[in-house]
Structure 1
Amino acid sequence: MKKQSIKKTPAKTPVHGSKPALARQVRIIGGEWKRTPLAVLDSEGLRPTPDRVRETVFNWLGHLLDGNWHGVHCLDLFAGTGALGFEAASRGAAQVTMIEHNTPAVRQLEATKTKLNADQVQIQRSDASTWLAKTGAGTARFNLIFLDPPYHQNWLGKVVPLCQGLLADGGLLYVESEFALTDSADSVLPEWMTGWQVLRADKAGMVFYHLLKRQ
């Protein structure tokens, strides 16, 4: 008797609906608002400082400031999510001025300020160069400036020299960049590093981060 062949129907690949993208977040590392999440908008050039980098940086700052944040006036020139500025405010900074040109990012910063009741934080919508030109070197004094601009747009060359006139005596400048700001056999320091001393420097992935002070 001839056996009938049984055709097997190939199994269908299950179809799943596309999952919504998870909201990106960073969190405040320490201080009054420790563990508070900060939303990260999907916007070109918006690149918040990673949690582990901020943890290292604020350990540096805590040591250099001897834990005394209460008299510190901060400027966050490319505020973005506000991760750096809100971190400083959380730890007790007397005043934090945030500059951000992206309108949705400014709205998010304002919402976070309201949520935290962060009266010591001032937020201004402006391009960094425009704000610096209006402010003028020497007319404002900050103990700490955060500088984390979009990469590959020569922002550091434009604004780092201007920061010298905004820093109080003994003030510190935090800089993130796509390259190291320290001497090495493989690179030559840019001219705009003239007059600056690197106090601390490290690298995480493709992020180079530094603490500078005026020489």
Structure 2
Amino acid sequence: MTRIIAGRAGSLRIEVPKSGTRPTSDRVREAIFSTLTSWDLVEGVHVLDLYAGSGALGLEAASRGASSVTLIERHAPAAQVAARNARTVRGAFRNDDAPSISVERQSVQAFLDAAGTTARWDVIMLDPPYDLDEPSLGANLSALVPLLDDDGVVLVERSSRSPEPVWPAGLVQVREKRYGETVLWWAEPANDERAPHPEG
């Protein structure tokens, strides 16, 4: 079990799949949302959580005020856990102010390839399995570029033993932070006309 750290569902316990996932620690989740808050990318935003596992990252965003959260998880047991956790978090809200939370059981690449160009998200988070190869991560990143809002950000969470992501055309790295065995890489759209997110 783990818990939602803050927001309307703060302190509520959520399930973790018995195997096959690597939940983000409380310390790293707090660091992620400290960064997103400083960039004004929590309240009212649309979040896409890829390789969602239990859904802890996306559901933390929902608890803290995200307008909608989409959780993508291929493995059936983990997707079922994420769906139960989504109901737990939504239960902390009144019906008229609850965020939209959906769980899609399919592979990340299949979801991204089918999303078209009309769906847009402000925050896209990827916490892939350790054994995901670099070409597959690169394909994910390339496919999500047209789905990212012009003022949005991409977060990649990986092991400190993993190489830096190879960013595709359309994304530029703005921050890298290490927390023990975890590294967070942040990127934003490569747009010369927008104000960059501060490195901090």
Aligned pairs for 1:56-205 within 5 A: 56-65=31-40, 69-70=43-44, 72-117=45-90, 120-136=100-116, 138-154=117-133, 155-179=136-160, 191-205=166-180
* One-letter amino acid of the counterpart of residue 63, structure 1: S
2:158, 2:182 within 8 Å by CA — same for their partners in 1? yes
Q: Name the structure, 1 or 2, with higher relative contact order (CA <8 Å, separation 6+).
A: 2
TM-score w.r.t. the length of structure 1 is 0.77
Q: Which runs of 5+ in 1 are unaligned?
A: 1-24, 182-186
The Cα of 1:204 is off from its aligned counterpart by 1.7
Distance 1:153 1:174 in 2: 16
Matching residue within 24, 44, 50 for 1:49: 24
1:76, 1:97 within 8 Å by CA — same for their partners in 2? yes
The Cα of 1:29 is off from its aligned counterpart by 1.4
1:113, 1:119 within 8 Å by CA — same for their partners in 2? no
TM-score w.r.t. the length of structure 2 is 0.82
Q: Deviations over 1:158-197 (max 9, x none)?
A: 201111111011111111123589xxxxx7x654354433
Q: Which runs of 5+ in 2 are unaligned?
A: 91-97, 191-200
2:125, 2:154 within 8 Å by CA — same for their partners in 1? yes
Distance 2:61 2:42 in 1: 11
* Large movers: runs of 4+ above 4 Å: none
2:67, 2:99 within 8 Å by CA — same for their partners in 1? no
Q: CA RMSD in A?
A: 2.1
Percent identity between the aligned chains?
Answer: 36
Q: Secondary structure at the match of 1:165?
A: helix
